[in-house]
């Protein structure tokens, strides 16, 4: 038993610097809060956030241009009122096309019975 312990102690004494370096690299590279793996994750997260910043800056620029256009021309206000709020002039008709799915219980193709029409 003591010969096995002496053999292990001899290997540890001989390779103490190598063991220290390997353990140090393992701690710094993988285990620590400031590890290389964590740094790579942070770099990926930073690049994703920068992409989001670019996207939101583009949206902000579009909204700013639209607001600038609304302030300059009254025709733009009229166009938005027609598109979003279905407003119309007196001599116009509006047709709204919808892609909504009808509920399964209601069938609008059935004719109205005469009793229901009187009510």
Quote the pLDDT of residue 18: 92
Q: Is residue 97 part of a domain?
A: no
**Residue ranges of the chain with pLDDT lower than 70?**
1, 105-119
Quote the pLDDT of residue 114: 45
Quote the pLDDT of residue 63: 94
Quote the pLDDT of residue 46: 98
Q: Are 37 and 29 in contact (CB under 8 A)?
A: yes
Quote the pLDDT of residue 28: 81
Quote the pLDDT of residue 51: 98
Q: Is residue 25 part of a domain?
A: yes
Q: Is residue 106 part of a domain?
A: no
- How many whole angstroms separate alpha carbon 33 and alpha carbon 116? 73
- How many whole angstroms separate alpha carbon 84 and alpha carbon 50? 32
Quote the pLDDT of residue 68: 92
Question: What is the span of the domain harbouring residue 61?
Answer: 9-85
- How many whole angstroms separate alpha carbon 105 and alpha carbon 33? 58
Q: Is residue 43 part of a domain?
A: yes
Quote the pLDDT of residue 78: 81
Quote the pLDDT of residue 65: 93
């Amino acid at each position: 038993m003591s010969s096995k312990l002496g053999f292990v102690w001899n290997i540890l004494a001989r390779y103490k610097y190598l063991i220290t370096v390997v353990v140090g690299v393992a701690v710094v590279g993988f285990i620590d809060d400031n590890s290389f793996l964590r740094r790579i994750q942070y770099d990926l997260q930073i690049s994703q956030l920068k992409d989001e910043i670019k996207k939101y800056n583009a949206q902000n620029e579009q909204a700013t241009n639209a607001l600038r256009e609304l302030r300059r021309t009254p025709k733009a206000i009229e166009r938005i009122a027609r598109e979003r709020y279905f407003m119309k002039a007196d001599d116009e008709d509006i047709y709204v096309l919808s892609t909504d799915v009808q509920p399964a219980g209601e069938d609008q193709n059935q004719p109205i019975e005469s009793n229901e029409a009187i009510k």
